[in-house]
Structure formats: C-alpha cells, structure tokens
Structure 1
Amino acid sequence: MTTKPASPAHQDAPRHILFTGGGSAGHVTVNTAIIPTMIEQGWKVSYIGSRSGIEKQLISRMSDVDYYGIATGKLRRYIDLENVKDPFRVVKGVYQAFRLIRRLKPDVLFSKGGFVSVPVVLGAWLNRVPVIIHESDLTPGLANRIAGPFAKRICITFAETAAHIKGDKAMHVGPIIRSDLRKGSAYKGIQWCKFTPGKPVLLIMGGSLGSQRINDVIRRNVEELTRTYQIIHICGKGEIDSKLIGTPGYRQYEYIHDELANAVACADVVISRAGSNSIFEFLALRKPMLLIPLSKSASRGDQILNAESFRQAGFCEVLQEEELDDATFLQSLGKVYAGREAIKKQMQQSEQGDSTQQVIALIEQTARVSE
C-alpha cells in the first residue's frame, strides 16, 4: 500500500486498533494483556467478537473498549445440523465485519484466532486494514490457517511454529503474559479462600469452558485430596457441585476474575489443560504443573504437542486424558508434588520472557506503514 501524508485532522485523531478473537478464554487473554497498554498510550480500542461468547464477557469488564458482536460459525468435530448453517453465518459475519470496519476505520487489526476471527480478518483485508495474527500453540489452529494469507505478520509463541507457516510472515515473539498475574499475593489468596496458612494449595483449571472429566476425578477424590491439599477448583460455567459446597478445604468457582492473580500466587501445584497461554503463564510464575491435554478425539491435538514440549523441558508431568482415572491421577499428582522443587529449578533456568512490548512495537510499526 502506498504511504500517503496524513491530513491534519488524521494527525490529531488518536490511533485506532481493532482486536478480535474468541470462543474460549485462550483466544482472548493475549488481547486482554495488550489492551491496557494500548489505552495508556492513547490508542482508541475496539473489539469485534461474537454476540454472546466468552470474549464478550471478558472484554465487557474492560473500560474504554467498544465491543461489537457479529454472526459467527463454529468448527465442530462431530456431526450436527448446525454445521449446515454455519457457512451462512460466516458469510453474514464477513458482511457485518466489513461494514463495521469501513465505519470504524481502524489503523490495524490484531487477531488472536478462534472461529469468530475469520470474518473479521476478511473484513479488515477487504477494507485494506493491515492484519497481525497471534498464534499461541505449537501448530496453527484452523482459524489462523485460513486467516494467515490475509495477514501482514503472524506472531508465534513457539519457535518451531515457523515451520508450519508459509513465506516469511512468522515472527517469533515468545509468550505474552498478563501483567496483573505477576502482581498476585499468596497471602491475599489464602485469606480470600479462608484457607489455613502452611497447608499446600492445589489449583485446578480446566479451561474457561471447564472440563467434565477433570471435574469428576477431583470430586470423586475430594476426601483424600483434602487430607494433603487445600483446593481451588475453577470448574466452568454451570459446573458447581452443590453437594460439595461447604466442604472444608475445597472451594469451587465457575470462573475467577479479579482474584485470579492471588489464587495463582498461593498455589503450590496447578492441574490444567495444556492451552499455550495458560501454561506459559504458569511457567512465568514458577508453578509446577500436572497437564491433562485435550485428547485428539476432542481437539486437533495441539494441547498434546504443547504438553509434550513442556514435559521435555522439565516443567511438568503429563497425564493423557485416555489414561485418566483415579489411580493414575493421584499417582501423577503425587509425582508433581514430590518433585516440585526440581521443577521450579528447571523453570528458573527458562529464558522465556514477556513479549508484550515487542508485539506492541510491531503494532505501532504496522499502523504507521498503513497510514
């Protein structure tokens, strides 16, 4: 695109960045890590997501961000009548995104991926708005594979991901860590949960949508687990078990917002899926992990690759979902807890940094070139 001199009116107007991404918290958290800095630097910030997805819930909590919902499709790995309707929703979403972006006139689009991002990337490209994509996993997801040809740059977390991206668009930036997570207080986390100081804390995170299998194995073993640990269980929307409310040393939450940094800070061991954003944050905070990645029958296998990469680095133990039962779970958890100091030592040797400023510099450069 030919660079044109900015008009005086344009020079006085704040730069405008548009974000997209959704479907799960993992497709939003990188955006929420970047947005506060963009606002502090005087950018106008807008967000396009689905009309009722988790991205709307998370972004609505952020002040000074204008949110717009559009029609979206969804990739399902099972037969469903909705699969027939989704292509029409995507086409409608592209039309809605195109009209929105033509009206909003952003300087740049930053896309985290997820099925909602494809119509937005296409709408931006049709409006000649430069696109930057962020890919967290070791191998690109379907949405980012579709959107990739329309992007100027693709930021990657794992260096190995470059081999899966055509051309020279890949830019290895490493993980983006939410700055507020680094400010957590273990003392405040213990106080918030009304736990006993000195007794180990186990944090369970099954992802923003929860995990039925992980929830079930925790609850079947609550009595035994609470002999050793105090438990913070983030179980997902609608997954609170009323029969276990009030169990000593066991706290259930659908999702934790403002107190998440303190909850993570007080944890001695984390049990989690293997979404890239989450596990890099636990690495940055030096939290030993037991990872239970989504199986290939329920995903494209990206979490299995993420978990294996971390296991080889000595940051975690891995328990495949197909092997998950009470005995293997308790054995794997015991192994992580017994080896937690060795795991922390490996984590301290990691050279992973926070790439937020590097990505922000790329955003600024890309927006300038498009003017």
Structure 2
Amino acid sequence: MRVLLAGGGTLGSVTPVLAVVQELCKRDSGVELLWVGTKRGPERKLVERFGVEFKVITSGRLRRWLTWQNLVLPFRILWGLFDSLLVLHNWRPDVVFHAGSFVAVPVTWAAWLLRIPVHIHQLDWRPGLANRLSAPFATSVSVSFKKSLHDFYSQRTVLTGNPIRIEILKAAKENSYELFGLSANRPIVLVLGGGTGAAALNQLIVETLPFLRSDFQVMHITGLNKMVQPPNWIGMYLQFDFLNERMPSALAVADLVVTRAGMGTLTELAALGRPAVIVPMPGTHQEDNAELFVQADAAVRFSQNSSAVDLAKLISSICSDREQLGSLSLAMHKLSNPQATELVTDLVLAAVHHRRQSDR
C-alpha cells in the first residue's frame, strides 16, 4: 500500500498526520510513504526523522494583507497543480491524506483528477481555507470537534478527535529532568512560539522574565530562525529555536505551558493534561481555538498586547496554586480522545478500500 501525505508551512498540519503514520506502520510494516511539503517550512526535518521520503512542490499561500505576492498566487497554485499531477502520476499512491495547509490543496485537486481517494482531517475549531478548498474533492473528512461536523458534507464527515504522536504520550518525566538539567523541585514553564516562531510572543516572554521569581525554570522554544537576545535574569533560562526529538521530553516536565493557540499543540497538551496559558495570534482562527479551551476551564487566555508584569503575575499565581493546576489539568484531559489516531487511520484505510471496490 502506498500513502501520499501532504502538509507544511507550519507544524500544525504536520503532527497529526505523523501520528497516523505511526499507526499505519504499526498495522502494515510494508506501507510505502511519501510526503509532499514546502521548500522553507519547518516540517522537513521532523518528517525525515520519521523515515518518510520528502518531496517539495510549488505552492502558494493567501496572505490576508496587501502584498504583490497575492498577485502571483494563482500562477503558483497552477504550477503546484502541475507538480502534483506529475508526482501522483509517477508514484501512484493508493490514497492521499492531509490535515490542511496551502501545499495540500493542489495535491488534493490533482488526486481528484486522477481518481485517487483523499482523506482530510480538520484540526481547528474554524475550518481553514485549505480544507474548505479541499473538502469538495475528498472521499472522507475527519474532524476534531462536534461543531465541525456541520462545516463539511455530513455524509462524508466523521468525528474522531485529533491524532497524537506516540512519543508525546510515552516520554518519561524522570529522564526528561536530566536531559535538560532541570530540578523537579522548582516550577518549570515551557514557552512554545510555534514551529515558525511568534515574534510578538517571544518578545513578551523576554520582557516578562525579569518580573518572575528566580526559582522559576523557563524553557523557551522560539521557532526556527527566531532566536532572541537572552534577558538579564538570574533564574534558569534555556532557549531553543526548535526541538525535534526532545519536544516530548520538554512537554513531559512542564508544570505550565505558555503557548500560541495552534490546535495541534493544544490537543497534545490536552492528551497530557498540561495546564496552559494561551496567547492566541490576534485576528486569526487561533482566537476561536483559545476560546474553546477557556470555555472548558482547561486554560487561561492572555492577550499579547497586555503587559509583561501582568503575564509574570499570572504565571506566578497559577504555578503557586496546586489546586488550580490540578483543575486545569483535569479539564484539559477531558478535551482529548485517546482513540483519535486509530479512528483517523481507519478512515484513511477505508478510503483505500473504497477505491479498490470501485476499480473492480
């Protein structure tokens, strides 16, 4: 069986697909995999660590501000469609699977033209443009939340939850303290700027640290090429632009996570029951994602336009209140579906079966 995977630009569309890759390989050790992604996105390093062949195609992304790049967007999409047709024709997959992203759109269209089944997964509370453009050409769709069932064609849409990678769930907490040189007796705050980085959040963290007590231990993942000048602070501060195989260990030891509101990250935190302060990117789907977790009492929302002093007070308050940490953790767990990876994998395989039945 051959499965072509697509996604990139950010890691949000990548991590749930990799979770399904692990389940596919567990069920069929002979499965062949090919990933189609972007040239400059952060996904290649992570994908290749899983032993999946990676191929780049031309792709275009709609920018929601005035820029000349939007003028050439139709031509880049058309070029991406030709690239996709060539890849699919030469490699001949049994199914295409993706979880959104602009690079997946021409792949989906090409698969439909070549009568190759496509399964797509919707992570976020609000459907992204890529999945809205892909869904009419998909064999089936899985969604993370019940509300999303009404956003796609109902007969082809299934509620599954969001797939989680095995290593996220299996990381040993005790070994992780030693890996990073951290103490289990002092509060640990993990800051996630996202795979491509969040400059505003990174700057806010740098301004916040001098207002935190010196017993705090802060691990700050800035995003690729987004390293910042370390602050003048006497507490323990570790900065990374990207954590690959060490990310599960970082999540394992965190007492509190300060993060953007990408649904891939939030559902990993839910699976682990990690309390979070969510700083959504203003004016984006992340605000809807954040609101979902806040309404469920699973996280606390913080505006990136608020002051560093206020963020330091919030972090200190939560980390000093064991009851609140426990309450947030319990509510986080309730937003996770442990069977999500298996359910989505079932749908990918069902799409293959549907094609083979149609070809008879």
When normalised by structure 1's length, the TM-score is 0.90
Residue in 1 aligned with 2:347? 362
Amino acid in structure 2 at the alignment position of 1:321: Q
Q: CA deviation at 1:38?
A: 2.0
Q: 1:366 to 1:348 in 2, by over 3 A?
A: closer
Kindly report which structure 2 residues correspond to 1:16-35, keeping only aligned pairs within 5 A, or say none.
16-35=2-21
Unmatched segments (≥5 aa) in structure 1: 1-14
Q: 1:282 to 1:348 in 2, by over 3 A?
A: closer
Q: Is the counterpart of residue 266 in structure 1 residue 249 in structure 2?
A: no
The answer to whether the Cα contact below 8 Å between 2:278 and 2:302 also exists between their aligned partners in 1 is yes
Secondary structure, counterpart of 1:168 in structure 2: helix
Secondary structure, counterpart of 2:280 in structure 1: coil
The CA distance in 2 between the partners of 1:319 and 1:243, in whole Å, is 22
Q: Which runs of 4+ in 1 moved over 6 A?
A: none
Amino acid in structure 2 at the alignment position of 1:294: M
Amino acid in structure 1 at the alignment position of 2:308: D
Q: 1:243 to 1:289 in 2, by over 3 A?
A: closer
Q: CA deviation at 1:244?
A: 4.6
Secondary structure, counterpart of 1:199 in structure 2: coil
* 2:331 alignment partner, one of 341, 346, 351: 346
Residue in 1 aligned with 2:43? 55
The CA distance in 2 between the partners of 1:116 and 1:173, in whole Å, is 24
Residue in 2 aligned with 1:332? 314
The CA distance in 2 between the partners of 1:110 and 1:340, in whole Å, is 37
Kindly report which structure 2 residues correspond to 1:5-84, keeping only aligned pairs within 5 A, or say none.
15-40=1-26, 41=28, 42-63=30-51, 65-84=52-71
Unmatched segments (≥5 aa) in structure 2: none
Amino acid in structure 2 at the alignment position of 1:21: G
1:231-282 per-residue CA deviation (whole Å, 9 max, x = no partner) reads 0100112222344599651000001011111111110000011111111111
1:74-133 per-residue CA deviation (whole Å, 9 max, x = no partner) reads 111111111111211110110110111011111110011111011100111111000101
Residue in 2 aligned with 1:213? 200
Q: CA deviation at 1:189?
A: 2.1
* 1:158 alignment partner, one of 138, 145, 169: 145
Q: CA deviation at 1:320?
A: 2.8
Q: 1:350 to 1:55 in 2, by over 3 A?
A: closer
Residue in 2 aligned with 1:10? none
Q: 1:55 to 1:345 in 2, by over 3 A?
A: closer
Kindly report which structure 2 residues correspond to 1:156-195, keeping only aligned pairs within 5 A, or say none.
156-195=143-182
Residue in 2 aligned with 1:287? 274
The answer to whether the Cα contact below 8 Å between 2:142 and 2:159 also exists between their aligned partners in 1 is yes
The CA distance in 2 between the partners of 1:326 and 1:247, in whole Å, is 17
Q: CA deviation at 1:348?
A: 4.7
Q: CA deviation at 1:26?
A: 0.5
What is the aligned-residue RMSD (CA, Å)? 1.8
Q: 1:351 to 1:256 in 2, by over 3 A?
A: closer
Q: Is the counterpart of residue 239 in structure 1 residue 239 in structure 2?
A: no
The CA distance in 1 between the partners of 2:88 and 2:226, in whole Å, is 37
The CA distance in 2 between the partners of 1:30 and 1:71, in whole Å, is 23
The answer to whether the Cα contact below 8 Å between 2:215 and 2:235 also exists between their aligned partners in 1 is no
1:1-29 per-residue CA deviation (whole Å, 9 max, x = no partner) reads xxxxxxxxxxxxxx111111111000111
The CA distance in 1 between the partners of 2:280 and 2:270, in whole Å, is 16
Q: 1:219 to 1:43 in 2, by over 3 A?
A: same
Amino acid in structure 1 at the alignment position of 2:50: M
Residue in 2 aligned with 1:9? none
The CA distance in 2 between the partners of 1:74 and 1:274, in whole Å, is 20
Amino acid in structure 1 at the alignment position of 2:315: L
The CA distance in 1 between the partners of 2:130 and 2:232, in whole Å, is 39
The answer to whether the Cα contact below 8 Å between 1:50 and 1:70 also exists between their aligned partners in 2 is yes
Q: Percent identity, aligned pairs only? A: 27
Q: 1:17 to 1:75 in 2, by over 3 A?
A: same
The CA distance in 2 between the partners of 1:351 and 1:113, in whole Å, is 20
1:211-246 per-residue CA deviation (whole Å, 9 max, x = no partner) reads 112111211222332524100100112222344599
Residue in 1 aligned with 2:302? 319
The CA distance in 2 between the partners of 1:96 and 1:290, in whole Å, is 41
The answer to whether the Cα contact below 8 Å between 1:317 and 1:332 also exists between their aligned partners in 2 is no
